Amino acid sequence: MRWTLRPKQDMAKVRELAQVLQVDTSIASLLLQREIDTYDKAKSFFRPSIDELHDPFLMKDMDKAVTRIEKAIAQGENILVFGDYDVDGTTSVALMSSYLKTCTPQVATYIPDRYAEGYGVSYMGIDYAADNDISLIIALDCGVKAIDKVAYAKEKGVDFIICDHHRPGEHLPAAVAVLDPKREDCEYPYKELCGCGVGFKLISAIALSRKQNLDELHTYLDLVATAIGADIVPITGENRVLAYYGLQVINQAPRSGFEAIIKQVKKRTLSITDVVFIIAPRINAAGRMKHGNHAVTLLTETDFDKACQYAIEIEQYNSDRKEADKSITQEALVQIENKEEQDRKTTVVYQEDWHKGVIGIVASRLIETYYRPTLVFTRSGDKLAASARSVKGFDVYNALSACEEFIEQFGGHKYAAGLTLKEENYEAFKNKFEEVVSETCDPHLLIPEIGIETELNLDQITPKFYRIIKQFAPFGPGNMRPSFMTKNLVDNGYGKKVGADQTHLKINVTQNGSGNPIGGIGFNLGDKHDLITEQKPFMAAYAIDENEWNNIVSLQLMVKDIKQ
């Protein structure tokens, strides 16, 4: 592991901010690292306000989108809400369709089949619209590159409104409106919305045009917060406000579908991390193992008993998904065992019978073992389809762009993407991808990094300090949970390997052999046990969390790594 300590802040500024906010200098330093250097910025950070959301009409084409939707409602047109099969797509469809049904009954939903149709806007979906007298499709979390498909729809008399957040290509589809803050000609102030976030801006604009009170839209923010967490977009600016209020909805007044999931996992208060690891995988599992329609049905169901039945079905899909990704990961690791594969700067693996629904998860799993840009391929019809995942700091989307000559279709983000190619191009693509990454990826990016915000002494870790750190939440890209480093730690002899296979490390430490001990747990750090024995001094990188045992709550170190 590569430990990277953030540069120290100007101590004069740290002391000044600490005095203004009446906080410890270590807290002031963490705030300055987040570019929070005034009382007003700190107030906005700790107490996000819904009033900070931008006017949705600042987004390019928003007026056109609202005008077309209002026309459809007024004339009783049939509207199809179309979205991708992942969490961002299904939450977007649930949000948009639920809201539009408060305006008109003429609303249907459509999630493409991952296997029969693939990612994004599909010809089958357009044909479905044309065959069912649907004249307007609102596409969410997809569509910004669907030039040919939007043209095909136009020939069939079907209009498109696109709500996307992916990078556009050189040209935009000829839709009625293309809402995407990443458009070069879009001056919307915040560029990092997820697809569901763009959908929320659209329903906000419709509500404003109808003179509705925007407070009525707060019930949709649980969907937006879930999409923000699952799609790994920065939790800064507007996303922080949306996630903050969305978590309140999830914890205080969740929709029936979320309540049914929470009831099954018996979790009380959910953080954004819980949303990512508890709610999101279950919503995703429907599209991965069966069909994304099941997720939309769960998320739009208002009857709690029915929602519980749907949640039980989705729980089974999630169990199936876990089994599939575990077995495929093991098979993929076998492919990488030879030295030639291990010496590469990339991981590219393929097996024709791997489950297409879990190859993205498998790519992430492989990065845990071989930390490098990774693609996992499987067969999809007469093509090969892959999910790509990257390491921190390396743009896999740009790398794929450099391999475009061998690719049929691709799209995605800096750290996650998908693509298809012809089987005869697989080896050439694999070699080209290795060449591009070798030439463009700084070697140090291929060593996992722990970003450490500041060095602490153990006596600085107090309940008050932790209470303030908790208020930094919701955590995520752009505002990660703070990680710290402490030197000269000594285990008091209670440290041991734990877990069924002894892979985890439990410690109980003091600093310089004095002061009150504090406990810690290091997952998958069992092999570091020798570093803490015989009262050898060591240093640890960690985050701070609470541990509850026998109804007693205490602070503990969530240890990320240990070094002599």
Helices (H), 301-425: 304-335, 339-342, 359-369, 396-401
- Strands 454-455 and 484-491, bridge-based pairing: parallel
Half-sphere exposure of 223 (CA within 13 A, CB side): 31
235, 195, 239: which is closest to 53 by C-alpha?
A: 239
Q: What is the DSSP letter of 79?
A: E
Enter the pTM of the model: 0.90
What is the pLDDT tens value at each position of the chain, 564 positions in all? 899 999 988 999 999 999 999 999 999 999 999 999 999 999 999 999 999 999 999 999 999 999 999 999 999 999 999 999 999 999 999 999 999 999 999 999 999 988 888 788 999 999 999 999 999 999 999 999 999 999 999 999 999 999 999 989 889 999 999 999 999 999 999 999 999 999 999 999 999 999 999 999 999 999 999 999 998 899 999 999 999 999 999 999 999 999 999 988 877 789 999 999 999 999 999 888 888 899 999 999 999 999 999 999 999 999 999 999 999 999 999 999 887 788 899 999 999 999 998 999 999 999 999 999 999 999 998 999 999 999 999 999 999 999 999 999 888 788 889 999 999 999 999 999 999 999 999 999 999 999 999 999 999 999 999 999 999 999 998 899 999 999 999 999 889 999 988 999 999 999 987 888 999 999 999 999 999 998 999 999 999 999 888 888 899 999 999 999
Q: Which of 221, 201, 167, 209 is nearest to 60 (CA)?
A: 201
Phi-psi region at 383: left, alpha or beta (left = phi > 0; alpha = psi -120 to 50): beta
For tokens 């709610």, the residue is 279
Domains of the chain by range and CATH?
56-313 (3.90.1640.30), 336-446 (3.10.310.30), 450-563 (2.40.50.460)
